[in-house]
Structure 1
Amino acid sequence: MRTANLAIVFTEIVGYADRLSRLTYEQSQRMLRLHEALVIPLFRAFRGRRVKTMGGTLLVAFESPTQAVLCGAAVQDRIWDWNQSVPEWDRIEVRVGANVGEVRLDKGDVFGEPVNIASRVLGLAGPGEVVFAESIWLSMNRNEVDADDGGLVTLKGVPEPIRIYRVRPAQDAMVRPYGGHALARAGRLRTPDPSQLTGAEIRGHLRAAAESAWGHISEAFPLLATQARAVALGATGAVVLLVALLLAPNAVDRALSRQDLTAAQREVQAMRAGPKRTYFEGRLLEAHKDWDGASHDYESAVRGGERRGFDRLLELARGGSCEARVAAARALGRLGDQDAIAILRRMADDDTRSSPQDGILTQVLGCQSRTAARDALDQIRGIE
């Protein structure tokens, strides 16, 4: 079994279990998606790797203790920004705990006392706080983060007391809790849209709409069944022309094919807001190898009726890098479309591929695409 010295970070939705008891399944899934949409882009920005999700808790590994703590501060500032812009019922609070040490690696997961300590430190953090063990403080760049000594604490399952530190909040109560300095390093981030429907709801609405439309057509054209052959023959030419137009590459496709991302972005920005634009925004993120961002955009596009987003997710799941396959599998699971079951089953059975371009943490921890595919299959079965 391999080992590696990694900074381990836990983020957790405060009061998740209590809220879960008051929410429907769809509402709880929405809350989890919101949590992930807010924090996962920050993990990526600070070179962290999500190891696993446990309900409202995420476990993330970082090579750098400094980046781990900065990411924690950025998470809290971003959550604060979100809460200022939404109604009270849509707000969430998060706590962050961290530790660093030599962990055991097995099948994409991490084990050992450093992980246990990080989880215990998480329990000492209040809403909006970032708490970390002394091992982080001793190994990080202290010029990057101001922290207060929290004293020695006794943790369950840890033989000796350890010293903890809390990231020091900003002095001005009118600004972000940690001043926004770490958050600014993450660059421009997309604002999540938690109002998106789930796959089951979308199918229900589409089914109802289709049945209603067919009813209106039947009433308006009672002879449609006998005239269908003639209508179909007359429409063949128009359909062929329409398909040809749809299949013709547009300006964005042409720019992407020649790897002119500036031109592609200019074309996308000129598009009207909607599923088509969201799909091409995903194409841009994919070109930048932002797999999580691209998969979220493809998912949003599919929910808006842009089927090409689903096709791209299937393509990434079949042959992308490890991180691309993981992101695509998670998006396919959230969509709940049964057309994805075949490829997800293949991934769940034997997909453990990794490659040099996957990054150091992926190579160290291994590819999690098999686990992601199994989780996605469970989600789809739960929606059925």
Structure 2
Amino acid sequence: MKTANLAIVFTDIKGFTERTSRQTLEENQRLLQVHHALLAPLFKAFGGRIIKSIGDAFLVTFESPTQAVLSGIAIQDRLWHHNRSVPEPEQLHVRVAINVGEVRLESNDVFGEPVNIAARVESLAEAGEVYFTEAVYLAMNKAEVPSKEVGAFELKGIPGKIRVFHVPRAPYRVEAPTAATIAEAPGTEKMPPFGNLALSRVPESTLSPPVDLSALGQRAAAGVAVLGQRAASGASVLGQRAAAGASVLGQQARTVGGSLFSRLSEELKTPGLGARLREKVAGRKVLVGLGLTAVVAGAAVVAFGGGATMRAIDAVEDAPEDERLPLVREAKRLIQDEKDPGRRHYLSGRLAEAQGDAGDAIDAYRSAVRAGSDDAEDRIIDLLEHPKCGVRSAAAYAVAALKLKSAVGELEDLEEDGGPDDGGGGFLGLGKCDSKNAAKNALKAFKD
């Protein structure tokens, strides 16, 4: 058995699941080409070896922890430059997470606890940030890389707490910006987030992409204006339907008294709550189908209004759209107070659903699953039966990306039956949608 002490880097794109659900395969392929063209040269410039590139995610190893962190910093500044030159729907926002330790090398792949820890830390990271563990902090050259502690976290399957650090935003800067950097774009910062600290070390020729990014972007941009218009109307309709369904559940939950089991039995007698209700008591889940919109709770007590955070999310669902903003802010504040990262991402997904944004919700659930949330795993699987084709398809892609073998039965059902709106408009009305095919592709991913 061959082993090596390596720095492990994970990256992925924020919001990739939502994009996948509303893009054609060709558009999605172009997005990934741009992503690869921007990141791959920087990994190599700092001595990285790309082990895997799976969809929107990279797994890269470095012999030097310092070089690994510098590559992450360079990536964030490079994406800052790129995002200023393209419309918002084409921008790329990436998370970077790094750990170091002794890993097992097998068939051009790496295995071991250091890899698992890096993946868990990635679920903590925010888009545009570079997060790394205490092991990296202790091993790297601190004179080259500024750092600040984020906190100590319990990670699923990892004994004890792991201290996590990140690279703080500049005021430091080692090189004057170019004219292109100075050119202001409305609503953007004037300086790259890390002041070209690492990017200045990379030769300009290395940054010249092997593909024409503008040409790739132009081909995908043809539908941007239409998407923007449809996004607003589509999100509004989805939000109204979610609020209508959630209102029924909220009213029933507040009026039915007694113990959890008595409330559950009363809800079973209430007409109009949909065809499916499964308990999550002693480890089982509750799924309440509500007409056109499914509202799902991770646990029975949560489903019936338990906990201040869930009550705040319920309030968002119940409120008219023009009165939601202060309620959303309060819900976000409570979510940020959650110590467990899996729970925090899961609740962020619930809030996104309450606002009618199923794409962002699935993206949050993906992060939650990576952080060890069983509730988020259940929720993604439940969304395979969502009445909207785009949501079912996005859930299928998420199941495949996360390798959720517990979803195989639901995927097989979806592949066989599909949904009544298959073949119609895709997510937010853009393109064609085929959730049966999405399920078929997801099942293939388990065999690859």
TM-score normalized by the length of structure 2: 0.43
The alignment status of 1:181 with 2:197, answered yes or no, reads: yes
1:171 Cα deviation after fit: 2.6
The letter of the residue matching 1:113 is: E
The letter of the residue matching 1:107 is: S
Deviations along 1:79-137, whole A, 9 cap, x unmatched?
00000111112111001000000000000000000000001111111110000000000
Q: In the aligned structure 2, how far is the partner of 1:17 from the partner of 1:197? A: 20
Please give the secondary structure, in 2, of the residue aligned with 1:66. helix
Deviations along 1:217-263, whole A, 9 cap, x unmatched?
xxxxxxxxxxxxxxxxxxxxxxxxxxxxxxxxxxxxxxxxxxxxxxx
Indicate how the Cα distance of structure 1 residues 158 and 29 shifts in structure 2: closer, same or farther if over 3 A, else same.
same
Q: Which has the higher helix share?
A: 1
Aligned counterpart, 1:190 = 208
Please give the secondary structure, in 2, of the residue aligned with 1:103. strand
Q: In the aligned structure 2, how far is the partner of 1:45 from the partner of 1:100? A: 19
Deviations along 1:173-200, whole A, 9 cap, x unmatched?
52100010200111111045235579xx
Aligned counterpart, 1:20 = 20
Is the CA contact (8 Å cut-off) linking 2:150 and 2:164 kept in structure 1?
yes
Q: CA RMSD in A?
A: 2.0
Give the total of aligned pairs. Answer: 200
Please give the secondary structure, in 2, of the residue aligned with 1:128. coil
The alignment status of 1:165 with 2:165, answered yes or no, reads: yes
Identity %: 53
Aligned counterpart, 1:363 = none
The alignment status of 1:154 with 2:147, answered yes or no, reads: no
Which ranges in structure 2 are unaligned for 5 or more consecutive residues? 173-188, 218-440, 442-448
Is the CA contact (8 Å cut-off) linking 2:117 and 2:158 kept in structure 1?
yes
Please give the secondary structure, in 2, of the residue aligned with 1:141. coil
Aligned counterpart, 1:51 = 51
Deviations along 1:120-159, whole A, 9 cap, x unmatched?
1111111100000000000010001111111111111211
The letter of the residue matching 1:144 is: E
Aligned counterpart, 1:42 = 42
Indicate how the Cα distance of structure 1 residues 175 and 195 shifts in structure 2: closer, same or farther if over 3 A, else same.
closer
4+ runs deviating over 4 angstroms: 195-198
1:18 Cα deviation after fit: 1.4
1:53 Cα deviation after fit: 1.1
Aligned counterpart, 1:101 = 101
Q: In the aligned structure 1, how far is the partner of 2:141 from the partner of 2:214? A: 40
Q: In the aligned structure 2, how far is the partner of 1:76 from the partner of 1:14? A: 13
TM-score normalized by the length of structure 1: 0.50
Q: How does 1:79-158 map to 2 (within 5 A)?
A: 79-158=79-158
Which ranges in structure 1 are unaligned for 5 or more consecutive residues? 199-377, 379-384
The letter of the residue matching 1:109 is: D
Q: In the aligned structure 1, how far is the partner of 2:145 from the partner of 2:8? A: 17
Which protein shows a greater Rg? 1
1:55 Cα deviation after fit: 1.2
Aligned counterpart, 2:182 = none
Deviations along 1:42-76, whole A, 9 cap, x unmatched?
01110000000121000000000000000000000
Q: In the aligned structure 1, how far is the partner of 2:110 from the partner of 2:36? A: 20
Q: How does 1:221-240 map to 2 (within 5 A)?
A: none
Is the CA contact (8 Å cut-off) linking 2:34 and 2:216 kept in structure 1?
no
Is the CA contact (8 Å cut-off) linking 1:148 and 1:166 kept in structure 2?
yes
1:11 Cα deviation after fit: 1.1
The letter of the residue matching 1:155 is: L
Aligned counterpart, 1:203 = none
Q: In the aligned structure 1, how far is the partner of 2:196 from the partner of 2:42? A: 13
Please give the secondary structure, in 2, of the residue aligned with 1:123. helix
Q: In the aligned structure 1, how far is the partner of 2:214 from the partner of 2:22? A: 18
Aligned counterpart, 1:365 = none
